[in-house]
Copies of this chain bind each other. A is one copy, B any other.
Amino acid sequence: MANHVRSIPDKVVGRLSLYRSLLQDHAPENVTHLFSHDLARMARVSAAQVRRDLMDTGYIGSPNKGYEIKKLVGCISRILDNPECENVALIGVGHLGRAIIDYFQGRRSNLCIVAAFDNNPSKVNRIVQGVKAYPISQLQEIVENEKINTAIVAVPGNAAQGVADQLVQAGIRGILNLAPTPLYVPENIYLVEQDMTMSLEKVAYFARRSFNKKGSKNE
């Protein structure tokens, strides 16, 4: 049976993504190689963790040059990225939606927001920061045409479930939900709830009680 690439754990995928962006955006200029130790310091994890994670990419470093940045980035990309560009839809062109468009326009990445949707007539049928905004009624059509399979939900809480239903209907396969209302979607849809309250309450909790504990966490 196929089983070609053997699925990589969630945690590792997250860190690979982190490593790549550190290598691309924050590696010192004119350095072509680095050691597990260096990447570990940047990512705030242990060197052993880095080496172990990189095992999953298949990339093999050299014992005393370390990892060649370009090659390693390529290797991580071969795992994380769609061979073609990964098309993403954004639902909700409010303050948050616009910040997100900005954010992704600003970074080179395989992820590409190719369409935004809103139900407010005054926000659609125009270009927002380089991304075309459509009325939500065209969701199905555009998702199909643009081969979109991932969506970001940035609408008010009370509209989120309705939007999610439409996304599922339209054939979306993964959803990042930023609204505070948790969504119900079928089993086979990959859903991440990213509620800021939770993150901030964690920060506040540990800030309050750790005077000397080590902190820092990537999420």
Binding site for B on A (CB under 8 A): 5, 7, 10, 13-14, 17-18, 21-22, 25-26, 42-44, 79-80, 82, 86, 88, 94-96, 98-100, 102-104, 107, 109-111, 149-150, 152, 172-176, 180-182, 185, 187-219
Contacts and interface: CB of A to CB of B under 8 A. Distances in A.
A54 to B, nearest CB: 16
B190 A210 contact: yes
Copies of the chain in the assembly: 2
Nearest to A109: B197
Given A180-B103, A208-B82, A218-B193, A198 B96 contact: no
A124 to B, nearest CB: 18
Contact of A200 (B5, B176, B200, B206): B176
A94 B88 contact: no
Contacts of A173: 207-208, 210
Contact of A26 (B149, B181, B206): B181
A28 to B, nearest CB: 14
A14 B175 contact: no
Contacts of A216: 185, 190-193
Nearest to A41: B184
Contact of A215 (B5, B191, B195): B191
Given A180-B103, A182-B44, A215-B191, A111 B80 contact: no
A173 to B, nearest CB: 4
* Interface core residue of A95, A176, A188 (most chain B CB under 10 Å): A95
